[in-house]
Amino acid sequence: MIKMGKNIVQKILDSHIVEGNPVPGQQVGIRIDQTLTQDATGTMAYLQFEALGFDKVKTDLSVSYVDHNTIQDGFENADDHKYLETVAAKYGIKFSKPGNGICHQVHLERFGVPGKTLLGSDSHTPTGGGIGMIAIGAGGLDVAVAMGGGPFFITYPRVIKVELTGSLQPWVSAKDIILKVLEILSTKGNVGAVVEYGGPGVKTLTVPERATITNMGAELGVTTSVFPSDEITLEFLKAQKREQCFTAIQADQDAQYDRVITIDLSTLDPRAACPHSPGNVKTLREIGPLTVDQVLIGSCTNASYRDIMLVASALKGKKIAPHVSLGITCGSRQVLEMVSRNGALADIISSGARILESACGFCIGNSLAPKTNAVSVRTSNRNFFGRSGTNSAEVYLTSPEAAVAAALSGKICDPRDLFSKDSYPSIKIPSEFLIDDSMIIEPSKDSSKVQIVRGPNIGDPPSNEPCPQKLSAVVAIKVGDKITTDHIMPAGSRLKYRSNIPKYAEFVFEREAPQFAAQALANRNKGIHNVIVAGESYGQGSSREHAAICPMYLGVKMVVAKSMERIHRANLINFGIIPAILSNPQDYDALNHNDELVIDNLRDQLSGGSELIMTNKTKGNSISLKVELTDRERAMILAGGLINSTKMQR
């Protein structure tokens, strides 16, 4: 047998496997070197870490960031932040204070290490792939287990190579590359795959540009995306005074891939993701001149030093269109301080822009909601229906180049129609970034002296009972295709209840069915189980495990769907909810709201194979379901979730 070379994904994953074999489609457990959490998901992750009984983190590095809920409307967010600060001090975790920046941007700048594994309780953790990491988003409970030294389990992936050739033309950017990839691969059907970038075009992209691509790769539904670690990576690390972290990582010349896609960068046109999906991609000229009400530049996708300097250069000496509201946020305090010192911030302010905090803010819908029926152009990564905070708004996702053109002209337009080729700013990576880590608090050297502060909004993780032998349920809700975690569990102002599950559960499916939570809870209290019925690609979007925790609290025992996304499926299993796939997708049409469902001998059926037979008593027919579980996943489902199964093993 001829032994073939390895690609980048295989090189990193294979060196971290602690359980299982590197065979595509099979589950493996990998060692996690680093973790990150943010405050919207981190509070529950650390409550779970405590519930599991760990006494200290076992990773090389774990960082707790506060970047999502920095608007302190009421005591809840501030209380959670104090809990996060003190729990980090006690258990050996670095704490990045509010105002220090967005987790993915700061982690890339200050902590990312090529060749390492990173697990984060945020779906955009794959940003770290821009520096050559295998960086994966997961639910908070998976991160808690990894912090305690446990492996993280994934399906050993198929690898899709995106071969980049040529170089980008002026006013075309890295955002247009990932929008092109989304146009090709779409937002569904990519579960169990990793995207690896290669080819000569890679050398033309800086680390922040690569990170834009891997960040928004999360919208593909892949496990993660990764770039090589090369001289461009070393240049970035040197500028961050971290060159000792550099390791060169390249694919072998004879590396094999499951699919190869070639993109000639020189032929790309500026693009936008149109409402209401990151996969609804068109060129800006196809969209045509469309009047814009709001432009927001920033988020973990496009708020690097390079992005902000480009925007500042384009705005210098100009004023934004009178009818446009422009908001700009820097991704980190490092970037904000640098542009304030070199005068670029003054150019931004002079143009009429609003300067926003270095935080997630508008991207998660907790601020700057647009007006009724507004057209909002944003450089963030998601434009799901209602995510902006205004259901009637039309949100378009573009590059900073296209966004600043929209702000100045007042219309969505190809920036090449507004700016000349020669006016394109040449923004280079600084030879030395401004380094000040004073807002990253080190853990206590004596954890025995740390008192964890728990405000009144902080409760315990809800418990679940073991899987019943008989499921007696009703269809509590029937939803369509591409239901995101934002549909299931709204963000924005609701996020402040993230550590108070009984309260947060009141808002499950709030936009789809306002009575869902009350009705599901009433069913649970009567001893009736709840089932969610869904179409294709259920659970897109955020790693928000509350989209599983809160339904579990309301008595949801099973999700029946045509297909579902990786992170949400894992979260369902973690909390004892059965992820069932319709063997015959046409059976979706035969299931309706309030149908009575029964599965006899459920535990026996789960233990005996991958098929379940469910009876629809209302319709008088039987439906076949596929529940393909590993032995580990099956044990979790039967026990009622990961916390229960872990406690049983200890």
Query: How confident is the model over 224-247, as a mean pLDDT?
Result: 98
- Concatenated DSSP letters for 109-146? HHT--TT-EEEESSTTGGGGGGGT-EEEE--HHHHHHH
Our separate counts of H helices and E strands in the chain read 21, 29
Nearest alpha carbon to residue 139 among 465, 539, 529, 534:
539
The set of residues, in sequence order, having a beta carbon less than 8 Å from that of 286 and lying 6+ positions away, is none
What residue spans of 273-361 are helical by DSSP H? Answer: 284-287, 305-315, 333-341, 344-350
**Positions of CATH 3.20.19.10 in the chain:** 471-649
pLDDT band at 262 (very low <50, low <70, confident <90, very high): very high
Name the β-bridge partners of 356. Answer: 329
The domain covering 8-266 belongs, at the CATH homologous superfamily level, to Aconitase, domain 3 (3.30.499.10)
Of the candidate ranges 373-377, 439-443, 501-505, the one whose mean pLDDT is the lowest: 501-505
Contact of 171 with 285, CB cutoff 8 Å:
no
- In this structure, of 355-364, 523-532, 538-547, the range with the lowest mean pLDDT score is 538-547
State phi, psi for 311 to the nearest 5 degrees.
-65, -45
Residue whose entry in the numeric block shows the structure tokens 């809160």: 550
Q: Strand 94-96 and strand 440-441: pairing? A: antiparallel
Q: Which residues pair with 294 in a beta bridge?
A: 325, 376
372 CB burial (10 A radius; 0-12, 13-18, 19+): exposed
User: Secondary structure of the chain: what % helix, strand, coil (to 5)?
Assistant: 35, 20, 45
Cα–Cα dist 271/588, whole Å: 35
Give me the amino acid identity at 587: D
Domain 282-418 sits in CATH 3.30.499.10: yes
One-letter amino acid of 528: I
Which among 141, 39, 73, 1 has a CA at the least distance from the CA of 366? 73
Of 411, 412, 360, 365, give the one whose Cα is nearest residue 391. Answer: 365
What is the C-alpha separation between 609 and 611, in angstroms, rounded? Answer: 6
Query: Apex CA 483: angle with CA 480 and CA 489, to 5°?
Result: 130
Cα–Cα dist 127/213, whole Å: 8
What does the pLDDT average to over 212-227? 97
Element (H, E) at 259: strand 259-264
Instruction: List the structure tokens of 4.
Output: 């073939």
Average pLDDT over residues 119-131: 97
Q: How confident is the model at residue 496 (pLDDT cuts 50, 70, 90)?
A: confident
Report angle CA 171, 282, 409 to the nearest 5 degrees. Answer: 50
CB 43 within 8 A of CB 16: no
Let me know the angle formed at the C-alpha of 145 by 140 and 147, rounded to the nearest 5 degrees.
90
Render pLDDT for 6-24 as a digit per residue (tens, 0 to 9).
Answer: 999 999 999 999 999 999 9
What per-residue confidence (pLDDT) applies to 619?
A: 95
Nearest Cα neighbor of 42 from 129, 108, 140, 110 is: 140
Exposure class string for 12-34: b at 16+ Cβ within 10 A, else e: bbeebeeebeeeeeebbbbbbbb
Averaging pLDDT over each range in 47-56, 358-367, 550-559, which range is the top one?
550-559
Confidence band, pLDDT 50/70/90 cuts, at residue 428: confident
Task: Provide the H-helix boundaries in 414-532.
Answer: 485-488, 501-504, 516-525
Provide, rounded to the nearest whole percent, the portion of the chain with pLDDT above 70: 99
Once rounded to an integer, what is the mean pLDDT over residues 301-322?
A: 98
The pTM of this model reads: 0.92
* 578-582 and 596-599 strand pairing: unpaired
Residue pLDDT, tens place only, 155-182: 999 999 999 999 999 999 999 999 999 9
DSSP code for 593: T
Provide CB contacts within 8 A for 353, sequence distance 6+: 315, 320, 326, 327, 328, 407
Which fold does the domain 471-649 belong to in CATH? Aconitase; domain 4 (3.20.19)
Distance of CA 593 to the CA centre of its chain: 30
> Where, residue-wise, is CATH 3.30.499.10 in the chain?
8-266, 282-418
pLDDT per position as a tens digit, 600-650? 999 999 998 889 999 999 999 999 999 999 999 999 999 999 888 877 765
Contacts of 101 (CB under 8 A, 6+ apart): 67, 330, 331, 332, 333, 334, 335, 336, 358, 359
Helices 207-216 and 305-315: angle between axes, nearest 10 degrees: 100
Within 8 A by CB and 6+ apart from 438, the residues are none
Quickly state the pLDDT bin for 2 (edges 50, 70, 90): low
pLDDT at 220 over 90: yes
- Quick one: 10 exposed, middle or buried, by C-beta within 10 A (0-12, 13-18, 19+)? buried
Tracing tokens 């925790």 back to the chain, one arrives at: 549
